[in-house]
């Protein structure tokens, strides 16, 4: 079945996470975000979306994206019976390849069963992680969900805790660094991650304080433990 997907941790991890959260006494002070898996059409699919009155850059749950395919089939009377007719728009959207067809390759079909068209449709979608935030615009990031990563290390005789991936949840990293500095009475810093195209930041806190970072994220941004990965 094709449904929208809301991220949740593996079943065996859920009770432990819930117990740990409960032991800390409390519900988060602010409503939490929702993490969703959604899909955006590749350039091959854009004319199909436009033909159905959708934005060519629409990022939708998989079920809603598949409705566009079936809406187009019905709108253009391509159904009726077990086989679906494949017109030029569907040919270009689902079968066209970069560089054109190779010499000797088989001709594209003129009809196919609905399941095959759905499978090809899904292959032409790009996965996005979408985080819906309370009272703020949603955040969209290409690719599957990546949790906030907290690591502990030792450098120059000092214990350090580092956190990355905070931007996905709308965290004001500079403010977080300043507030943790005051709360924990320690040195904090915010650095750019390496790479020309990388826009994410690294939060660094002196000491081993992954628990305090997790608590701050929950209380200030409603970020649940299941969206955080701790590596020591």
Strands (E), 11-120: 34-41, 83-85, 111-113
One pLDDT digit (tens) per residue for the chain, 232 residues: 333 334 344 343 333 344 344 444 444 456 789 999 999 999 999 999 999 999 999 999 999 999 999 999 999 999 867 899 999 999 999 998 875 565 656 778 899 999 999 999 999 999 999 999 998 999 999 999 999 999 999 988 889 999 999 999 999 999 999 999 999 999 999 999 988 778 899 999 999 999 999 999 999 999 999 999 999 8
The span from the CA of 138 to the CA of 169, in Å, is 9
Q: Rounded to 10 degrees, what is the CA torsion of 131, 146, 6, 58?
A: 50
CA diameter of the chain: 73
């Amino acid at each position: 079945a094709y449904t929208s997907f809301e991220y949740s941790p593996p079943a065996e991890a859920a009770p432990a996470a819930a117990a740990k959260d409960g032991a800390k006494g409390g519900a988060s002070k602010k409503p939490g975000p929702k993490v969703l898996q959604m899909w955006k059409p590749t350039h091959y699919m854009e004319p199909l979306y436009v033909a159905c009155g959708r934005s060519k850059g629409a990022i939708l749950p998989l079920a809603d994206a598949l409705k566009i395919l079936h809406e187009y089939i019905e709108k253009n009377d391509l159904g009726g019976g077990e086989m679906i007719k494949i017109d030029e728009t569907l040919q270009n959207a689902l079968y066209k390849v970069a560089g054109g067809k190779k010499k000797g390759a088989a001709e594209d079909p003129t009809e196919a069963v609905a399941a095959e068209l759905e499978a090809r449709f899904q292959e032409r979608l790009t996965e996005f992680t979408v985080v819906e935030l309370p009272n703020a615009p949603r955040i969209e990031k290409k690719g599957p969900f990546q949790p906030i990563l907290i690591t502990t290390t030792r450098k120059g005789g000092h214990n350090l805790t580092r956190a990355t991936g905070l931007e996905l949840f709308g965290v004001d990293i500079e403010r977080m660094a300043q507030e943790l500095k005051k709360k924990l009475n320690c040195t904090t810093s915010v650095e750019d991650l390496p790479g020309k195209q990388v826009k994410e930041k690294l939060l660094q806190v002196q000491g081993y304080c992954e628990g305090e970072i997790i608590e701050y994220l929950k209380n200030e941004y409603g970020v649940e433990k299941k969206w955080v990965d701790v590596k020591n």
